[in-house]
Amino acid sequence: MIIVHGAVEIDPEHWEQAMELSLEHVERSRQEPGCISHAVHIDAENPNRLVFFEEWENMQALQTHFEVPASGEFVTNLQAMAVARPEMRIFESALKA
């Protein structure tokens, strides 16, 4: 299983738009082959920070997700609303889904 952890701090002026885009991205991603889970959360310590947590069956499924045009558009649009560079970490779990 592949685990993705990402975070981005959003300009408060763009908060509602960023949340709407994020929820659309999460819902779309959940329908993709190999997606086990995909969620967005609001950081309890920084309410302008969105935190993403994803689980994928394997690296191929994640790579296919990255290649979906809507995924690239989401990243581009969200980065435009960010106050700092987004973070993303990818981990491989020894546990099977």
DSSP code for 47: T
Which residues are bridge partners to 37 per DSSP? 55
> How far is the C-alpha of 37 from the C-alpha of 61, rounded, in Å?
12
Question: Tens of pLDDT along 21-56?
Answer: 999 999 999 999 999 999 999 999 999 999 999 999
Q: Can you tell me the mean pLDDT for 65-72?
A: 97
Topology at the third CATH level for domain 2-92: Alpha-Beta Plaits (3.30.70)
Domain ranges in the chain? Answer: 2-92
Overall size of the chain counted in residues: 97
CB 1 within 8 A of CB 87: no
